[in-house]
A and B are shown apart, each in its own frame.
Chain A
């Protein structure tokens, strides 16, 4: 089981996530697709870590998880704020910085 297999799977997940960000219009689902891409990066990092037999890649993966958690907290906060202002939760409608 060479590490390349894991890298290919990671590339597929990343491509799916990128396509999802471009297709979907609901910001919640766009956040989910961002998670997909971050996880693809995580899988590649763990694969590289396994390849070299050192723990550095795992540390990177944990840091990526922390960053993903921060992104989720801020992103969901923005979505809740949008909902409170009764703005449409749809990225096509939210084109202007000044609502």
Chain B
């Protein structure tokens, strides 16, 4: 019975992984990864690691994947159909070759070495194996340092993500548009793009949309002075 379940879940996990690599639309890639993660959690259950399985579903398939879905929806587009495989056939063949090489090497490492002599059903398990109580005790005794370092890492990553993706700071947003000729002069952008400057000047809400010929130049003037005041 375990055997049957193993092959079903492993099949789903591999199909999900293949879907991530092959599918064209990034959104479908994310959904395929969700299938992969859930079947992996079921494999964890077969290995009697209940807590990790639940954490996998809640944290990974839940929270992290929602983040992915939001970013895919925000960035959108992704690979245009003609772009996906426009990696040259040589590169594609090379990648597949390297991938199978890695698999063969890992398979040799697993099956061809002393590990195979350990290929048993595993040790007999204590009643508390894989329970939250055992995990919690290990985290707060033997692996306390790793636990604290992981929490610090999460804090640093959260701050870094906010700094990178925030409106100001990180990769400066306007630098890319500055050419030497323009200097610090405001470069005109299409009107009503929904930028924060327009929001500040109440533009598009209280004032009517401009004539396209105006290019929104003077309407963006107040926003520019506001930015200068900031400096």
List A residues at the B interface (Cβ < 8 Å). 1-9, 11-20, 22-26, 28-29, 31-33, 35-36, 39, 42-43, 46-47, 49-53, 55-56, 58-59, 61-63, 65-74, 76-87, 89-90, 92, 99
Contact = CB atoms under 8 A, between A and B. Distances in A.
A82 B173 CA distance: 9
A47 B121 CA distance: 10
Contacts of B161: 73-74, 76-77
Nearest to B98: A22
- Which DSSP category, helix, strand, loop or mixed, fits chain A's interface? helix
Interface of B: 2-3, 6, 10, 13-14, 17-18, 20-21, 26, 29-30, 33, 36-37, 40, 43-44, 46-49, 51-52, 55-56, 59-60, 63-64, 67-68, 71-72, 74-75, 77-79, 83-84, 86-87, 91-92, 94-96, 98-100, 102-103, 106-107, 110-111, 115-116, 118-126, 129-130, 134-135, 138-139, 142-143, 146, 150, 153-154, 156-158, 160-165, 170-171, 173, 175-176
Contacts of B115: 4, 7
B95 A63 contact: no
A11 B115 CA distance: 14
Which of B47, B48, B64, B156 has the largest number of chain A CB atoms within 10 A?
B47
- Which DSSP category, helix, strand, loop or mixed, fits chain B's interface? helix
A77 B47 contact: no
Contacts of B30: 32
A55 B122 CA distance: 13
A46 B47 contact: yes
Nearest to B9: A9
Contact of B160 (A18, A32, A74): A74
B40 A11 contact: no
Given A18-B99, A18-B102, A32 B6 contact: no
Nearest to A28: B26
Given A6-B43, A43-B44, 15 more contacts: A3-B120, A11-B102, A18-B98, A32-B33, A35-B33, A56-B143, A59-B142, A62-B139, A73-B67, A73-B160, A76-B165, A77-B164, A79-B75, A80-B164, A80-B165
B126 to A, nearest CB: 7
Which are the 7 A-B pairs with shortest beta-carbon distances?
Answer: A19-B99, A53-B123, A22-B95, A77-B164, A70-B157, A15-B103, A11-B106
A3 B67 CA distance: 33
Given A1-B3, A1-B6, A51-B123, A76 B79 contact: no
Contacts of B135: 55, 58-59, 62
